[in-house]
Chain A
Amino acid sequence: MTAMLLLDQLRFNSQLFLRHRVRTGLLLLAVGLGVASVILLTSLGEGARRYVDREFSALGNQLLIILPGRKETTGGAPPIYGTAPRDLTLEDAQALERIPAVRAVAPVIAGTASVALSSRSREVIVLGTTAAIFQVRKMNVAQGEVLPARARSEAMAVCVLGSKLKNELFGNRRAIGEWVRVGDRRMRVIGVLEERGESLGLDLRDMIIVPVRTAEQMFNTPGLFRVLMELDGNADFKRAEDRVKAIIRERHEGDDDITLISQDSMLAAFNNILTTLTLAIAAIAAISLLVAGILIMNISLISVSQRRKEIGLLKALGGSSRQVRQLFLGESLLLVSLGSVAGIVVAWVVVNVLARLWPVFPLAPPWWSIPAAVGTALLSGLIFSLIPARRAAALDPVLAMRGQDQ
């Protein structure tokens, strides 16, 4: 007979909320904003993760990237003396084409050069590569054609322009067949890339693609920046990697001086980073819930001192200290619950509106964000109302009803 019915407690607290509408509204707002911000910010993080995920998938998951030099990704500081690895050469890349599971090999030499047409000039990234790059990176030309097969082994004076570069130089005029100056060489424009925007951090619109031999001469280096490979759809990645290593080891006098990056491992790394980032964002957003908790504490303390007489009365009417404590804790928890529901609704609406306005970005809350937000809100509400509730429970009923301090 000592416990108050839950329903009665809810009703008692609700009547209190109705009585103090402004105060209740403000607290609901604080909790709601906190919960909504946790959900929204984690949705952004999760959206970023999904975006990256999708970008990688768009590349096809059969991508294998070879970097010159051995890079330990398992940790540890880089060596003080830069190991001078053997260059990864065009011949190495061509040797890799012998692997049966390999569908295409695109060697890449990268550098920057100014590209000029009469008086207009622009400093852009130059990719020296072969026709295979178009297949591996899923790129297409909007006009003209891709690099010819001969560009694999000949330093042809031809180039493919990124769409933005083409516009900067030619405007609306036709670029195919025209000559541009790249560094100190003249090259004929044979194609213009399709507009696709950024891919893996490289602005495809603002660059120029030239035959790999041409780039080799321009930048005076036999070393490749990297080699991109596309494997057969059902190829065994592990085996292909082993073959790649074996071939390079053979050609590099037994040195294992390359780094292989598969798309899976890159994706895993990105996923890791973005998940961590999302968690960090969530933690930052949770601070707003902490603030809401402190607000609840302050307002509860005021409420306790305003309701001293009532608390004293409840005790005189047979209410125990525990009941009074429960009433005050219950009040906070009810408030936090209502605020959480409001926050979830707000977050849901905002996520849906943003998703409609910005369909490219896959905005969505991760599964854990709602329970985490509500859990943090409840915990914060509970912890911060412990002090007011204990203060209320400890009130001396006689003094409280007389309206005196203890």
Chain B
Amino acid sequence: MIELDGINKTYQVGEFPLRALQDVSITINAGEYLSVMGPSGSGKSTLLNMVGLLDRPDSGRYSLDGNATETLGEEARARLRADYIGFIFQAFHLINRLTTLENVELPMMLAGIGPKQRRQSALDVLEQVGLAERASHRPNQLSGGQLQRVAIARAIVMKPRILLADEPTGNLDQASGHEVVDVLENLNREGITLLVVTHDMALGKRARRRIRMVDGRIEKDTDDSDAATGSTAL
């Protein structure tokens, strides 16, 4: 599903180059539940953005579901992103002027899908995260946990195969965090590939496969399930 091979990425921070990713190679199969942990600046967010096609490597190869991405233009990468990947952010990133429903519809709107189909899909996923009755609320009327669940609904409305979550519980209290993790793990159980970047040890340990990054390198890759080679069927 996801194959990174020899990825390097260097940022210029002030006068000094910061090697965010150093020769990172990793293969992630469809349906895996993966956590990426490590200290700040270890490159875990960069890895996530790389997988999410938001960032381009300086060198190395990245193939997503058999598509070589290095040579793709901006338009094609945006299309792959829309088709394969759902993002969940620490800060939710909902648009305040839009209702819950409109926020969830946003990816489908960008994809040019008609209003009727959009509304149905959005209501379906809101139902899935337990917020159907909040469809007409605006973000400022919702709690943190609800906001993150709306964001999850938005991330899955296009039926992506991969869910990328960057500190999904970072801005939440424990109870809300649990709700959100439940929703994410349910989605994984239904077959979505889940990749969570976190500082939170408790959250990180829940994943079947755990990656520890230090200084832009993968230091440790532990896999509980022997089915790591699982289905790559598409």
A residues at B contact (CB < 8 Å): 1-5, 7-8, 12, 15-16, 18-19, 309-310, 312-323, 397-398, 401
Binds A, one of B36-44, B77-85, B208-216: B77-85
Are B75 and A318 in contact, with the CB atoms below 8 A?
A: no
Are B95 and A323 in contact, with the CB atoms below 8 A?
A: no
Are B54 and A15 in contact, with the CB atoms below 8 A?
A: no
Binds A, one of B108-116, B177-185, B186-194, B197-205: B108-116
Are A316 and B87 in contact, with the CB atoms below 8 A?
A: yes
Are A320 and B93 in contact, with the CB atoms below 8 A?
A: no
**What's the dominant secondary structure at chain A's contact region?**
helix
- Residues of A near B82 (CB, < 8 A) are 1, 317-318
- Residues of B near A1 (CB, < 8 A) are 79, 82, 111-113
Contact with A along B15-48 (1 / 0, CB 8 A): 0000000000000000000000000000001000
Nearest to A327 among chain B residues (CB) is B110
Are A320 and B79 in contact, with the CB atoms below 8 A?
A: yes
A257 to B154 Cα, complex, angstroms: 89
Chain B residues numbered 34-92 whose CB sits less than 8 Å from any CB in chain A: 45, 49, 52, 54-55, 74-75, 78-79, 81-83, 87, 89, 91
Are B97 and A16 in contact, with the CB atoms below 8 A?
A: yes
B106 within 8 A of A: yes
A335 to B194 Cα, complex, angstroms: 42
- Residues of A near B54 (CB, < 8 A) are 315-316, 397-398
B107 within 8 A of A: yes
B98 within 8 A of A: yes
A18 to B107 Cα, complex, angstroms: 22
Nearest to A394 among chain B residues (CB) is B74
A313 to B87 Cα, complex, angstroms: 9
Are A15 and B114 in contact, with the CB atoms below 8 A?
A: no
B122 within 8 A of A: no
Q: A8-B112, A315-B54 are in contact. List 5 more A-B contacts (CB 8 A).
A: A1-B82, A317-B107, A318-B83, A318-B158, A401-B89
- Residues of A near B107 (CB, < 8 A) are 317-318
Choose from B52, B102, B112 the contact partner of A2 (Cβ within 8 Å). Answer: B112
A312 to B91 Cα, complex, angstroms: 13
Instruction: Give the total of B residues in contact with A, Cβ under 8 Å.
Output: 31
- Residues of A near B114 (CB, < 8 A) are 5
Choose from A8, A317, A322 the contact partner of B154 (Cβ within 8 Å). Answer: A317
Q: A317-B106, A318-B79, A398-B54 are in contact. Are A4 and B112 (CB under 8 A)?
A: yes
CB distance from B99 to the nearest CB of A (A): 10
- Residues of B near A18 (CB, < 8 A) are 97
- Residues of B near A323 (CB, < 8 A) are 78, 110
- Top 5 A-B residue pairs of the complex, sorted by shortest distance between their CB atoms: A318-B82, A320-B78, A19-B97, A317-B107, A319-B110
Choose from A4, A19, A309, A316 the contact partner of B52 (Cβ within 8 Å). Answer: A316
A5 to B115 Cα, complex, angstroms: 9
CB distance from A279 to the nearest CB of B (A): 43
Q: A5-B112, A316-B87 are in contact. Are A15 and B98 (CB under 8 A)?
A: yes
Are B112 and A313 in contact, with the CB atoms below 8 A?
A: no
- Residues of A near B49 (CB, < 8 A) are 398
Choose from A5, A317, A322, A398 the contact partner of B75 (Cβ within 8 Å). Answer: A322
- Residues of A near B87 (CB, < 8 A) are 316-317
CB distance from A12 to the nearest CB of B (A): 7
A318 to B164 Cα, complex, angstroms: 14
Choose from B78, B81, B95, B102 the contact partner of A310 (Cβ within 8 Å). Answer: B95
Q: Which of A19, A309, A319 has the most CB of B within 10 A?
A: A319
A67 to B204 Cα, complex, angstroms: 103
Nearest to B56 among chain A residues (CB) is A396
A120 to B1 Cα, complex, angstroms: 109
Are A319 and B78 in contact, with the CB atoms below 8 A?
A: yes
CB distance from B119 to the nearest CB of A (A): 12
Are B109 and A318 in contact, with the CB atoms below 8 A?
A: no
Are A2 and B106 in contact, with the CB atoms below 8 A?
A: no
Chain B residues numbered 86-140 whose CB sits less than 8 Å from any CB in chain A: 87, 89, 91, 93, 95, 97-98, 102, 106-107, 109-115
A397 to B95 Cα, complex, angstroms: 15
A318 to B98 Cα, complex, angstroms: 18
CB distance from B193 to the nearest CB of A (A): 17
CB distance from A389 to the nearest CB of B (A): 15
- Residues of A near B83 (CB, < 8 A) are 318
Are A3 and B74 in contact, with the CB atoms below 8 A?
A: no
Nearest to B102 among chain A residues (CB) is A15
Are A4 and B74 in contact, with the CB atoms below 8 A?
A: no
Are A2 and B75 in contact, with the CB atoms below 8 A?
A: yes
Are B109 and A8 in contact, with the CB atoms below 8 A?
A: yes
A1 to B109 Cα, complex, angstroms: 10
Task: Report 17 cross-chain contacts, Cβ distance below 8 Å, ordered by A residue.
Answer: A1-B82, A1-B111, A1-B113, A3-B112, A4-B112, A8-B109, A8-B115, A12-B109, A309-B93, A313-B93, A314-B106, A314-B110, A316-B54, A318-B83, A320-B78, A322-B74, A398-B45
Choose from A7, A15, A316 the contact partner of B81 (Cβ within 8 Å). Answer: A316
- Residues of A near B78 (CB, < 8 A) are 2, 315, 318-321, 323
Are B115 and A313 in contact, with the CB atoms below 8 A?
A: no
Nearest to B114 among chain A residues (CB) is A5
A211 to B218 Cα, complex, angstroms: 114
A30 to B25 Cα, complex, angstroms: 56
A1 to B97 Cα, complex, angstroms: 25
A167 to B45 Cα, complex, angstroms: 95
- Residues of A near B115 (CB, < 8 A) are 5, 7-8
CB distance from A20 to the nearest CB of B (A): 9
Nearest to B96 among chain A residues (CB) is A19
Are A15 and B75 in contact, with the CB atoms below 8 A?
A: no
CB distance from B59 to the nearest CB of A (A): 19
Are B111 and A2 in contact, with the CB atoms below 8 A?
A: yes
Are B79 and A313 in contact, with the CB atoms below 8 A?
A: no
CB distance from B9 to the nearest CB of A (A): 11
